[in-house]
Amino acid sequence: MRLKIVEIANRGVPGEECLHLTVQAAVDLNFYAVFDTARIGGGLISRFSAHTYWFQPQAVMPGDTVTLYTGPGANSFAKLPDGATAYSFYWGLSGTIWNAPSSCAVLLEVNQWQTSPAGDSGAGTVLNSDEKQGGFA
C-alpha cells in the first residue's frame, strides 16, 4: 500500500482527534478510504463501520504526510522545510469516533469501484486507478 497508518492521535478529544498517515509512494488520495470500526478479539476487526471517509482527488508524493481530523474544518496543506507537504483533511463529524480502547481505523486502497445507475439510466460506471476521471469531489 502506498499510504501507511502512523497513529490515531488525541483519541476522544473533540476538534483534535485525528488519523496520521504517511505517503510511501506517489499516489492520488482519491483511491483511499478510511473506515472506523472496532477490534473484536482474536486479532479480528468488526466488518461493520459507522463512518467512512473517501479522500478527495489529491496527488501526494513520498514523504508527504496526511492528517484526517474527525471533526469539522477546512482542508488545507502546508509545505514543510524538507520540501514535503503536510495535508490536513476534515471528516466533518459532530463527535469523536476513536474514543473506545477497541476502536480502530481501517485504511483501504480502492483501485476499482462501480456505481449504481442514477434513476433509469442503465448500467453503473466502473472506474479504476488507470483512469484519471471520476471519483469524488
Does 104 reside within a domain? yes
- What is the count of structural domains for the chain? 1
Mean pLDDT of the chain: 89
Least confident of 4-18, 24-38, 105-119: 105-119
Range of the domain at 73: 3-128
Question: Tens digits of per-residue pLDDT, 34-46?
Answer: 999 988 888 888 8
Res. 80: pLDDT tops 50: yes
What's the pTM value of the predicted model, to 2 decimals?
A: 0.85
* 86-95: Cβ within 8 A, 24+ apart: 87/29, 87/58, 87/60, 89/53, 89/55, 89/56, 91/51, 91/53, 93/51, 95/14, 95/70
The verdict on residue 133 lying in a domain is: no
Specify the CATH number for the domain of residue 27: 2.60.40
